[in-house]
Structure 1
């Protein structure tokens, strides 16, 4: 496996082009509805766009991103961009963390500090990790796959080869959103290498075996399935578009930075524990660093493609099928779904379950200290397998 160092260096003319496009935006007519009721609020979007064009310093963001050691690996023809942060402890434990949509590797900037240098935060240095954060194929600086068929399962195979290529024969995995699916797929397909997985989200396509031959649904499971369906009907339009007509949406979002900011920014508000006030949790600079990564790499279309692929290869389990490596789950109160523990235990050996006090879908950005403490606790007994 060939690996080469990588540093982000966006061309100046691309920065100028972005600013020009924002200034030339043809704004959609306002509708007589309360703010945020029908999607991204127009006043908020105008304010964010003005900041993006006139005040946001991409070069400062770029320097911050480049503080993390980044690389490009060629894994059987698939080029993968990844951050590789070595831990500061005596025997750091290897951990691969996978992001989702509408996030990126940038999500884990603060979490990496917590995991790789725990003593700096008053935690035990023996809990340090070597952390690998790959960008999913088609996201950021990982080129999209050359062929169709790359779902969470195929990404897991690439991650397993990447970790072996980095010298890690055994490791743990962690993820939310799409990254939760990749982490589960790693445990399913590579149990000989994966000691355990920690999740802060359950993929919507996860479906354990249910039916006459299985134990009946509990009241909590029935409530979860009903609420899941209600959420999909009212809030899941983006996912239906991604998984059925990604190219139609990509044609607009790849051409309009304001459209892209609306598509992504609205999800950060709705899915986070911000009480409707986005900048209580994320600064404009943080939001725009993430959105700019999608813009400069033209990755919104390829990113949506993974929803198409995952729809064709859903995460369904047959009767008697179980995942061998243990699972830890951090249940954040403002997450977009709320499975009961029993729903996971139909398939997984859940050895750690924590109802978190606060936080939402973007846990690594919202509550890095809380998430790091959960990850440390879960993997502590698994380190002895190294």
Structure 2
């Protein structure tokens, strides 16, 4: 595998074009007092756009990102970007961190130094890790796959190949959102390589493997919460699953439109909104790579490829599907519904989409640790980095650091 160093360096004409587009923004006709009821608050987007055009310093953020070691690896003929940071001590366990949507590798910007031990606040006896943070295929600086070949399972093979190419043959995997889906599939395909899974949610498509008539009271409460979320906030899933290209014309052309679409998810899934710099840096990674359309392909292509036929895909925008709706699969897909025996930990944050009870997680995983966090939301590593790091360390200690790399 060809692996080479990579430095983020956005050409100045791209930044000049962005500033011109921001200056030409045509705003929607919407009452200022309407708040967030119908989408991303107009006052918030106006404030972010003004700061983006005159105040936000991309070059400073670029330098911050470049403090970390970036690499590009060629996997199956396509480039995959990743952060690869070694721990301050040799022979540290390896840790693979997987982001989702509407975030990016930037989700983990505030945890890398804590996990590697480079942050001065990390004590000498703390467990430290070699950290790998890929951009999933189609995101940021990773090339998108060929048409019709984009799924959680296929993304898992890409990141597993990346880890092998970097010399890691046993490692921990952490993920949230689509990152939890990809993490699950890495463990399913390579259980000998994954020493443990650490997830912030039970992968969303697992919902469709459960016959609700067999669900416990706590599981029924979770299903009801997800149904309510789908009705009030899940429209983006249906759109990105069915008409992603139509949406992408606007988001690829308008930086304000892109920011509004992405920031909306941080607003209702975070207990404490990330800083303006963090929000805009995440948006910038989508903008400069023009990757919003390719990032949506997991919604449009991923479910059919991984979890069943088109009859199952009809339920992708809601939580009303049943186990026989196509998601459980038949034949080759039946293995997807098998329980994973890789040791697994969950760190559940109160502002996430729903709060899964432990018995629900145990349907799919060998749950060794199940922590309910005091605060935080869906993008936990960005919002509450120390809570995520502390729980990862606690899980690694319970596993007796069996994830030590061999290469």
Question: What TM-score results when the alignment is normalised by the length of structure 1?
Answer: 0.93
What displacement does 1:122 show? 4.1
Residues 340-359 of structure 1, C-alpha deviation per residue, up to 9 Å, x if partnerless? 11111012110000000000
Q: Which runs of 5+ in 1 are unaligned?
A: none
Determine helix, strand or coil for the equivalent of 1:120. Answer: coil
The answer to whether residue 280 in structure 2 is matched with residue 295 in structure 1 is no
| CA distance in 2: counterparts of 1:385 and 1:101, whole angstroms | 27
Runs of at least 4 residues off by over 6 Å: none
Q: Contact 2:10–2:288 (CA<8 Å) still a contact in 1?
A: yes
| CA distance in 1: counterparts of 2:110 and 2:204, whole angstroms | 27
Q: Which runs of 5+ in 2 are unaligned?
A: 308-326, 329-333
Q: Contact 2:113–2:119 (CA<8 Å) still a contact in 1?
A: no
What displacement does 1:90 show? 4.0
Aligned match of 1:200: 200
Aligned match of 2:3: 3
| CA distance in 2: counterparts of 1:301 and 1:39, whole angstroms | 20
| CA distance in 2: counterparts of 1:149 and 1:382, whole angstroms | 37
Determine helix, strand or coil for the equivalent of 2:34. Answer: coil
Task: Provide closer, same or farther for how the CA distance between residues 164 and 382 of structure 1 changes in structure 2, counting only shifts above 3 A.
Answer: farther
| CA distance in 1: counterparts of 2:403 and 2:178, whole angstroms | 27
Q: Contact 2:92–2:128 (CA<8 Å) still a contact in 1?
A: yes
Residues 266-319 of structure 1, C-alpha deviation per residue, up to 9 Å, x if partnerless? 111111012xxx3xxx22111111111111110100001111122213555559
Aligned match of 1:359: 376
Aligned match of 2:221: 223
Residues 236-261 of structure 1, C-alpha deviation per residue, up to 9 Å, x if partnerless? 01111111111011111000001011
Task: Provide closer, same or farther for how the CA distance between residues 56 and 205 of structure 1 changes in structure 2, counting only shifts above 3 A.
Answer: same
What displacement does 1:123 show? 4.0
Aligned match of 2:110: 110
Task: Provide closer, same or farther for how the CA distance between residues 5 and 89 of structure 1 changes in structure 2, counting only shifts above 3 A.
Answer: same
Task: Provide closer, same or farther for how the CA distance between residues 228 and 211 of structure 1 changes in structure 2, counting only shifts above 3 A.
Answer: closer
What displacement does 1:216 show? 2.6
Aligned match of 1:322: 339
| CA distance in 1: counterparts of 2:90 and 2:5, whole angstroms | 25
Q: Contact 1:88–1:125 (CA<8 Å) still a contact in 2?
A: no
1:334-373, aligned counterparts within 5 Å? 334-373=351-390
Q: Contact 1:152–1:181 (CA<8 Å) still a contact in 2?
A: yes
Question: What TM-score results when the alignment is normalised by the length of structure 2?
Answer: 0.89
Residues 61-104 of structure 1, C-alpha deviation per residue, up to 9 Å, x if partnerless? 11111111001100111210000010112421111111111111
What displacement does 1:206 show? 1.2
Q: Contact 1:118–1:127 (CA<8 Å) still a contact in 2?
A: no
| CA distance in 1: counterparts of 2:26 and 2:286, whole angstroms | 21
Task: Provide closer, same or farther for how the CA distance between residues 330 and 118 of structure 1 changes in structure 2, counting only shifts above 3 A.
Answer: farther
Residues 212-245 of structure 1, C-alpha deviation per residue, up to 9 Å, x if partnerless? 9xx9311111111122112111100111111111
Aligned match of 1:73: 73
RMSD, matched Cα: 1.9
